[in-house]
Amino acid sequence: MGTWLAALALTGILAPHAPGAQGRKPNIILIYSDDHGWADLGINGSDKDIKTPHLDRLALDGIRFTRGYVTAPQCVPSRAGVMTGRYQQRFGVEDNNKGPLPLAEKTIAERLKAAGYATGMSGKWHLDIAPGKQGDKAHRLMAAHMPHAQGFDEYWRGELRQYHASHDLAGMPLADAPRVVNDGRFRVVVQTEAAQSFINRRKADPGRPWFLYLAWYAPHVPLESPEPWFSRTPGHLPLQRRQALAMIAAMDDGLGRIRRQLKETGQENNTLIFFVGDNGAPLGNAWDGSLNTPLAGQKGMLSEGGIRVPFLAAWPGVLPSGKVFDHPVSSLDIASTSVAAAGLPAEPSLDGVNLLPHLLGEKSSAPHDRLFWRWGSQAAVLEMPYKLVALGDRDRMLFDVSTPQGEHHSRDLSAKHPEIARSLEGKLKAWSKDLNPPGLPNSLDRHHESLFGEHGILKAKASSAVDPARGWLCRNGTLSVGPDGLAVVKDPKANGNNKVFIARAGLDLAGPVVATLRIKAVTGGKASITWRTREESFGAGQVAAFDWPAGAEWREVKVDLPDKNKILHVRIIPPSGAVGAVTESIELRGADGAGKSWKFLRDK
């Protein structure tokens, strides 16, 4: 054992039930960003435009987890998992429509209060939301499940311009808390100030440890262009990308301010900080400007792009600095690690693992044998290097996720390794028996099907007789193929702002690409094609407009997609007000002459 490890052992930090030297337990900060893709951490080296010097410094001062996972690809369940340290499906908070967090579930704050901690939170709580409830009942439910009801002494709960607070930003207690406070400034700035205000108030009791949960509402939509950060972003990028970069830069600066505050008050070496994204970035119409590159998929999917996120930890003087940890870890581990760091006994009900022995070199094994997920009509199990993805009762796909592009239907290994697929499915089923409700999904949600198909992860149908749409999928509507060609009908349940479009992934065509469409409509109008490359995802500069012709005869329309990068994925968006818009054929031809074509016209 090295000198510094021996010293830690003597102080009791490595012991499961003991606090640190002189009886001082560490302060703990958990920072959660929102819809923040894996690519958007500068030190991950995925995108040249992202600049996060303070986050990068945190990684260099501590641990960067290259395979940090959250328990769901969506806000509420991800937060329920990290706050409790338990798979949220155990207590029924499986998706955004299953809140609020039951009061019977203990949060990290409640556990640490038992160890004498002061507790505070700032930003997005979202665990007090009860979808479907209206009026007074909704307000009563929300009030009963706010942070103060689940272990937080002090709080500044809110996302945009209105907050429910226990203290003002000057640190003064508010009478009749939670009190509504309005603040029109950029949300990250306000939420950071609230966090710093909580830290400042700890001066009144310097011997007492504290826990802070800072949940920035960024870069989640609605996007903003906060200054001075927006002006520093590259002007050639799409607006959404520039806004996301600016909002992430504001979070990064906020982290820098908090770390300076800790240093100035002598608390830097006695504070354990976690930084985690709550899920991957959304793409398409809901794009928040963040990127998951090179991971497959997005928010709302149990592919890597939906659940593998920026994940850092630092405890200067205790944890090693500059360590890159490649084993999978989970957001569930934060509660178990915090409990251990606070000197509390191990809690068997927690699903996470105390990471400290693994990070300090006491244990060389991986923290987890496997990780599990169930979300809506999807389920998955990861046992490195293999991940089994189950989509309803339809597909069981096995991927080697040791490479970033491992998840694609052409790389499904279930036929090559059926014994591994069967073993993992058995473990997934066994885990699901203890959930609420138990079992695996028995049907595939249409929206989930379209997401996986659009990203080239869903298996193709066996033949054109089974799949007359030839692998094209529809978002916010349904497809039909008949004697009049490929037709699209908008889903009446779709939000009015959500455009109907057809999409095809897995193209890999050298740009620029020429799209040739044979189309017609009773009434036409303005239409467009948008596309994704490995470098950019459906940005403002990746749109080609064209006119959808009206008339009884088929018309051939050529549309240039001028991107010089390889085009992986296209969406064709017909006119919103068109009547009888149908497609006979689509051809996509790359700059090197390679191409793909599809005919949809069925015989009468």
What does 307-323 look like in DSSP terms, one character per residue?
A: HB--EEEE-TTTSPSSE
From 36, 126, 167, 368, active-site residue: 126
| Average pLDDT across the chain, whole number | 90
Q: What is the pLDDT of residue 182?
A: 97
Classify the C-alpha dihedral 25-27-33-39 as positive or negative: negative
Beta bridge partners of 586: 517, 598
Q: Specify whether 327 is catalytic.
A: no
Residue 1: which pLDDT band, with cuts at 50, 70 and 90? very low
Grade residue 77 by pLDDT with cuts at 50, 70 and 90: very high
Cβ neighbours around 535 below 10 Å, total: 14
Catalytic residue among 75, 409, 448, 569: 75
pLDDT of residue 15: 43
Q: What is the pLDDT of residue 600?
A: 85
3-state SS, one letter per residue, for 235-289: CCCCHHHHHHHHHHHHHHHHHHHHHHHHHHCCCHHHEEEEEEECCCCCCHHHCCC
Find residue 461's DSSP bridge partners. Answer: none
Q: How confident is the model at residue 285 (pLDDT cuts 50, 70, 90)?
A: confident
Distance CA 347, CA 514 (A): 60
Active site residue 145: no
Could you write out the DSSP letters of every residue in 442-485? -S--HHHHHHHHHTT-SPPPS-TTT-TTTT-EEESEEEEEETTE
Looking at per-residue pLDDT, the higher value among 462 and 331 belongs to 331
Tell me which fold the domain 463-599 belongs to. Jelly Rolls (2.60.120)
> Tell me: the pLDDT tens digits for 510-566?
999 999 999 998 888 999 999 988 777 777 788 999 999 998 889 999 999 999 999
* Percentage of the chain exceeding pLDDT 90: 73
Q: What pLDDT is attached to residue 460?
A: 55
Residues contacting 226, CB < 8 A, separation 6+: 186, 188, 189, 246, 247, 250
Q: What are the distances in angstroms from CA 104 to CA 101, 113, 150, 531, 598?
A: 9, 16, 9, 47, 55
Q: pLDDT grade, residue 468 (50/70/90)?
A: confident
In this structure, of 89-103, 246-260, 265-279, 570-584, the range with the lowest mean pLDDT score is 570-584
> Count H helices, E strands: the chain?
12, 27
Burial code (b: 16+ CB inside 10 Å, e: under 16) for 111-124 equals: bbbebebbbbbbbb
Check residue 496 and give its pLDDT: 58
CA atoms within 13 A on the CB side of 162: 3
* pLDDT value, residue 495: 62
Pairing of strands 567-573, 501-504: antiparallel
Q: How do the domains of the chain map onto residue ranges?
A: 26-363, 372-446, 463-599
172-189 pLDDT, tens digit each: 999 988 999 999 999 999
Residue with tokens 């740009």: 511
Instruction: Let me know: does 565 contact 532? Beta carbons within 8 Å.
Output: no
Question: CA-CA distances (angstroms) from residue 352 to 25, 62, 329, 335?
Answer: 21, 20, 9, 7
pTM of the model: 0.82
The pLDDT of residue 20? 42
Is the distance from CB of 391 to CB of 458 less than 8 angstroms? yes
**Higher pLDDT, residue 591 or 409:** 591
What CATH number does domain 26-363 carry, 3.60.150.10, 3.40.720.10, 3.40.50.880, 3.30.720.210? Answer: 3.40.720.10
- Residue 63 is predicted with a pLDDT of 98
Tokens, residue 463: 């033949």
